[in-house]
Chains A and B, each alone.
Chain A
Amino acid sequence: SQKIEQNSEALNIQEGKTATLTCNYTNYSPAYLQWYRQDPGRGPVFLLLIRENEKEKRKERLKVTFDTTLKQSLFHITASQPADSATYLCALENYGGSQGNLIFGKGTKLSVKP
């Protein structure tokens, strides 16, 4: 079955810098990959979905890339702000498992210092 890894448990950056978070997967190339934001004690909130035929997707200060050769997605937040501090999760469907089985990475906790 599929495995998904977010390399960093925590990432600390200075306000105004670009944060780059990594999501790697093994085995099957997913048809899409999703990114979520989670604040402490709250449910995840959807941010972006990127499909396998899309190299890059943008939404305001957010950018996601998808490299099926490297089996990796990168999530960028440009001009980061303290309000961007949260845990960011990537998710994809577990091919090799049952249809409908969505798996999440353990997340990267981003802290943006003023």
Chain B
Amino acid sequence: EAQVTQNPRYLITVTGKKLTVTCSQNMNHEYMSWYRQDPGLGLRQIYYSMNVEVTDKGDVPEGYKVSRKEKRNFPLILESPSPNQTSLYFCASSLKGTSGLQYFGAGTRLSVL
């Protein structure tokens, strides 16, 4: 089954404790991206990757890091999480960059205390 898998689905952590949210897709997609979704602000892109070893900033990259060492994986790293990073996070992938339909993961709900 074609899917984008995020882990964990729920995470509660404390300020400053490094964390990684994993994202994996099984569709051999070149394009992957991360979004955060906040009430009243909608979906905002954090980082995206056009292909392996190619990453670029989206609209709200501050406080986040990503890497794309393999085609299927695109982890999101919060080196020193802060309460303003409490949000619902989505990973997405696409065969054809932004012009292709985006497949989204189920989401990761993060709370930073």
Interface residues of A (CB under 8 A from B): 31-32, 34, 36, 41-46, 49, 89, 91, 93-94, 97-107
Contact = CB atoms under 8 A, between A and B. Distances in A.
B57 interface: yes
A96 to B, nearest CB: 12
Contact of B101 (A49, A100, A103): A49
Given A32-B99, A34-B101, A107-B42, A100 B31 contact: yes
Q: B33, B42, B107: which has the most chain A beta carbons within 10 Å?
A: B42
A105 B109 CA distance: 21
Interface residues of B, number: 31
A99 to B, nearest CB: 7
23 contacts: A34-B101, A36-B102, A41-B88, A43-B4, A43-B104, A43-B106, A43-B107, A44-B90, A44-B104, A45-B104, A46-B101, A46-B103, A49-B99, A49-B101, A93-B98, A98-B57, A99-B50, A101-B48, A101-B58, A101-B59, A102-B33, A102-B45, A104-B35
